[in-house]
Structure 1
Amino acid sequence: MTFKMAVPNKGRLHDRTIELLLKSGLDLGEDWGRRLYVTAKNQDIEILFVRAQDIPRFIAIGSVDLGITGQDQIADSGFVLKEVLELEFGHCRLSVAVPEQSNIRTVDDIKDGCRVATSFPNVTKRFFDSKGKNVEIVNVSGAAEIMPYIGVSDIIVDLVSSGATLKTNRLMEIETLVTSQAVMVTSEKAMEANSARIMDIVNSVKSVIDAENKKYLMADVPVSQLPEIDKLFPGLAGPTVMNISGRTDMVAIHVVVDSNTIFDSVNKLQKLGAKGILTLPIERLVP
């Protein structure tokens, strides 16, 4: 039976999702951007391009085995799903925001009957119910920030990243309902039936994410400095040391280092007498 995976067809999560899939080795073909679903070349994996907010439901009812969506969408869906990998992008938070000129500074200040505009009606209702607040949910499809200005709502619940959009629209954030990022998600039933296939995809994508924060470093170093090299680069399992043909005083080392340490690493190697230092990007990193 064909394995089905759902990914966002557009929006803030789309581009990075496709990038991760392609880098992980899933070949979507040349015309994937014009189709609603494709079968990955040489793999019995069907990729469906759907709305991010629909993906939790599709997984919950068993229409797809694995999906990529935001934790905000999962929270609003109300379905109990299994997150198998945090993807480290799409970071945001779902927050209550109020007009700056209002007298509201905490959720306790919100009066019963307050109108709340949001694209996340379910999680918003659950939140205010838990606070004992009887509010009116105004379901909007986007641009919630303008709703208080035009009189559609009194306050909003919306996604916030930097907060710049709120500030531009003279709104202020008073409480966070959900912190969110993109995740790979499945169901317990799908995991029981397809755990090997799911983990193959998860591990492939994870290897791409891990590799993006690393560099492959090569250098020729004096044999006498190997003890210092070991201290400098513990790496995944210490540096790989190889003999250089015709040389007894120098050896070649290969090591994986964090990208944010590459500047210091190269300088320290030079001070230890290293030559021919070379750094390379890594496409995938499988420990």
Structure 2
Amino acid sequence: MSLLKVAVQKSGRLSEDSLKLFNECGIKFNNGAKKLKAQSHNFPIEFLFLRDDDIPGYVEDGIADIGIVGQNVHEEYGKDIEVVKYLGFSKCRLSLAIPREDSYTDVTYFEGKNLATSYPVILKKFLDEKGVKADVHEISGSVEIAPGIGLAEGICDIVSSGSTLLSNGLKEVETVMKSEAVMVASKSLSTDKKNILNQLIFRINAVLEGKNKKYVLLNAPNDSIDKIIDLLPGMRSPTVLPLAEKGWSSIHSVISEDDFWENIEKLREAGAEGVLVVPIEKMIK
């Protein structure tokens, strides 16, 4: 049977989040310490642990069938591969930053200035779209020190919390692009491997659909059911079951956690009692 070869970053937050997702999909494997390959014993998949910058090229060359990378890495390297799934984790942004003491109005600030970045392709495209001409210098690692050592007047780098910028006397002034983890695939997968990929995406969809969703159970007087159902739309519609006590029913529904907290007071005002909120591990539509 064919094995689907999956390239995953060998270390770091993206690696941890990717392996957690596969584990939540019920795919078991043992990657051990510093192993470069690992095969699942309950799903036809083999993991290759690689540098994130190398993953798009390995997928394009067919060494790996699919890979998980940051959207920023995919767009920077521009390999002939396709995004088959946006994964919703490892979110960050690629932003422009300048010395904290400098005044900033708009992107024309960068006209004629030197900018340091590890993402020259994305940055040049952004500047071209804005009609700004600047000198872009590609450097790898520690981009944030470039202004302090006189290499550049500004930088373009990945930002999550912004704490690294602050500790280096910089401030974020412009978002170039927002990024998240994406699953990329070779355009020349065999039929067998496409079928395995479809099975994998089915499992991933089930896991991601359950994220931030809650199963809500509550009791309510029958004359409040219509009002409560309006607040708990459910996947299709809520389930309503009669209680042993006449005139009361139990209402079951699935709702996003944000919607629940927005509506909890309205639910109570409508007569809801004994509200139970349960996390959802997986959800299949």
Structure-2 residue corresponding to 1:207: 206
- Asked if 1 retains the 8 angstrom alpha-carbon contact of 2:97 and 2:173, the reply is yes
Structure-1 residue corresponding to 2:237: 238
In structure 2, what is the Cα distance between the partners aligned to 1:214 and 1:198? Answer: 25
Structure-2 residue corresponding to 1:39: 39
Structure-1 residue corresponding to 2:221: 222
1:185/1:274 CA distance change after superposition, 3 Å: same
Q: 1:268: Cα distance to partner?
A: 4.5
Q: 1:122: Cα distance to partner?
A: 4.3
1:265/1:98 CA distance change after superposition, 3 Å: closer
Could you state the TM-score of these two structures normalised by the residue count of structure 1?
0.82
Secondary structure (helix, strand or coil) at the match of 2:284 reads coil
Structure-2 residue corresponding to 1:251: 249
Aligned-residue CA RMSD (Å):
3.1
In structure 2, what is the Cα distance between the partners aligned to 1:182 and 1:143? Answer: 22
In the alignment, is residue 58 of structure 1 matched against residue 43 of structure 2?
no
In structure 2, what is the Cα distance between the partners aligned to 1:166 and 1:230? Answer: 47
1:117-156 mapped onto 2 (5 Å cutoff): 117-124=116-123, 133=133, 135=135, 137-140=137-140, 142-156=141-155
In structure 2, what is the Cα distance between the partners aligned to 1:89 and 1:4? Answer: 21
In structure 1, what is the Cα distance between the partners aligned to 2:217 and 2:11? Answer: 40
1:138/1:201 CA distance change after superposition, 3 Å: same
- Asked if 2 retains the 8 angstrom alpha-carbon contact of 1:107 and 1:175, the reply is no
Secondary structure (helix, strand or coil) at the match of 2:13 reads coil
1:107/1:8 CA distance change after superposition, 3 Å: farther
In the alignment, is residue 20 of structure 1 matched against residue 6 of structure 2?
no
In structure 2, what is the Cα distance between the partners aligned to 1:272 and 1:97? Answer: 50
* Matched length: 282
Q: 1:77: Cα distance to partner?
A: 0.9
1:86-105 mapped onto 2 (5 Å cutoff): 86-100=86-100
- Asked if 2 retains the 8 angstrom alpha-carbon contact of 1:191 and 1:198, the reply is no
Could you state the TM-score of these two structures normalised by the residue count of structure 2?
0.82
- Asked if 1 retains the 8 angstrom alpha-carbon contact of 2:91 and 2:181, the reply is yes
Percent of aligned pairs with the same residue? 33
Q: 1:224: Cα distance to partner?
A: 3.9
In structure 1, what is the Cα distance between the partners aligned to 2:73 and 2:54? Answer: 8
1:134/1:273 CA distance change after superposition, 3 Å: closer
- Asked if 1 retains the 8 angstrom alpha-carbon contact of 2:44 and 2:196, the reply is no
